[in-house]
Amino acid sequence: MSKVRPTIATLVLAATAALIAALVVAAGPAGAEQSTAQATEDALPDAPVLNIGHRGASGYAPEHTFASYDLAVKLGADYIEQDLQLTKDGVLVVMHDKTLNRTATAPEGVPARYCRGPVSNRTLEQIKQCDVGSWFNEEYPEYAKPRYVGLKIPTLEQVFKRYGKEVNYYIETKNPDAAPGMERKLLRLMRKYELIRPAARDWQVLIQSFSPESLQKIHRLKPSLPLIQLYFAGSSKTVRTDLGAARAYAVGIGPDQQDVDARLISAAHRRCLAVHPYTVNEKPDMRTLISLGVDGMFTNFPNRLDNVLGTRAADDAMVAARQSAEAYRACRGG
């Protein structure tokens, strides 16, 4: 992207005004003065709205392939997302589902069983023979491309090798209970590719999970790493109930977009937690969430969010990530 991004203050002012208005309505005239003061001091300091390419640009290309990640970066994503699975022989690969069934097919000559069942039952050598592009062409003919046929499942190491420090990563430990050692393997690879420090200092890597145990394990191993607690769809209230606990190890939360309201954002920001809802694919929803004050969002269509943000879209993904880290630190008192 090559946009000049004016100050984010406009966005924050609009979001703050919307939040104040909502609080004033909720509190009634008697509570107006107190609500205004609270809303003003609740907000995280200035930071851009992060554009997170969900499984890459998975609306346009086969999820978790280099084609999808490359396109996400091209379409304005500030982060590319990876879901992690562990093979039978202990290699971290990027794939959303626990099983190969939905996205993998066996090319001619490859035993069908290599591309069926749980990833954890297959070796890297086996799953490397699967095609994870063809399903997309069949499912989404409007975006189908001959070059997607035969795309392979990348290992996390291949992802780090390909993009190095040129992109920001948003990595999820998936099914960590069934994949003992996943966290240590992730940290080992981050260390090998010198991503620990840029993650801690500049949020070049954000680590997310639905599993608090997995995040707490990482927090114990490396307390400086920025972690995002994900929540399955529930309600604003169920997420709010957990924020005090999440704050002890996480820098932010990833709620289902349906659960995001002004009260959740206010409660999260009061605890200095960034709010990155998933998975937001429609422009009106993007606009609503931005006006509520979210700090980023996952989308299968990074260009749509880029378009909605317009001149407020981050000019430089690295700077955007760093500004988010700085806003968090400022909120937590340095």
What is the set of active-site residues? 54, 96
- β-pair type (205-209, 227-230): parallel
Does residue number 211 form part of the binding site for ligand G3P (CB under 6 A)? no
* Residue from the set 35, 65, 134, 208 that interacts with ligand G3P by CB under 6 A: 208
For residue 82, what is the enclosing H or E element?
strand 79-86
CA 137 to chain centre: 25
By CB under 5 A, is residue 78 in contact with Ca ion?
no
**What Å distances lie between residue 92 and 18, 55, 173, 223, CA to CA?**
43, 15, 10, 22
Among 133, 252, 254, 296, binds ligand G3P (CB under 6 A): 254
Q: Is 83 in the site for Ca ion (CB under 5 A)?
A: yes
**Quick check: 230 binds ligand G3P (CB under 6 A)?**
yes
Indicate which of ligand G3P, Ca ion, none lies near residue 225 (CB less than 5 to 8 Å, by partner kind). Answer: none
203 binds, among Ca ion, ligand G3P, none (CB under 5 to 8 A by kind): none
Cross-strand pairs, 170: 81, 206
Number of residues in the chain: 334
Question: How far is Cα 245 from Cα 40, in angstroms, rounded to an integer?
Answer: 24
Q: How far is the CB of 95 from ligand G3P (least distance, A)?
A: 11
Applying the rule CB under 6 A, the residues between 105 and 134 that interact with ligand G3P are none
* List 79, 278, 301, 328, residue binding ligand G3P (CB under 6 A): 278
Q: Is 175 in the site for ligand G3P (CB under 6 A)?
A: no
Closest distance of CB 279 from Ca ion, Å:
8
Q: Pseudo-torsion of CA 153, 206, 279, 106, nearest 10°?
A: 10
Crossing angle, helix 9-42 and helix 262-270, to 10 degrees?
70
Does 305 participate in binding ligand G3P (rule CB under 6 A)? Answer: no
The pattern of x and - marking residues 31 through 50 that bind ligand G3P according to CB under 6 A reads --------------------
Which residue type does 119 have? V
Q: Which residues pair with 205 in a beta bridge?
A: 169
Of 243, 198, 250, the C-alpha closest to 223 is 250
289 touches ligand G3P by CB under 6 A: no
Residue 137 is inside which H or E element, if any?
Answer: helix 134-139
Question: Using the rule CB under 5 A, is 172 a contact of Ca ion?
Answer: yes
Question: Which C-beta is closer to Ca ion: that of 19 or that of 154?
Answer: 154
Q: Kindly list the residues in this chain that would bind ligand G3P in the complex (CB under 6 A).
A: 54, 83, 96, 172, 208, 230, 254, 278-279, 298
Q: Kindly list the residues in this chain that would bind Ca ion in the complex (CB under 5 A).
A: 83, 172
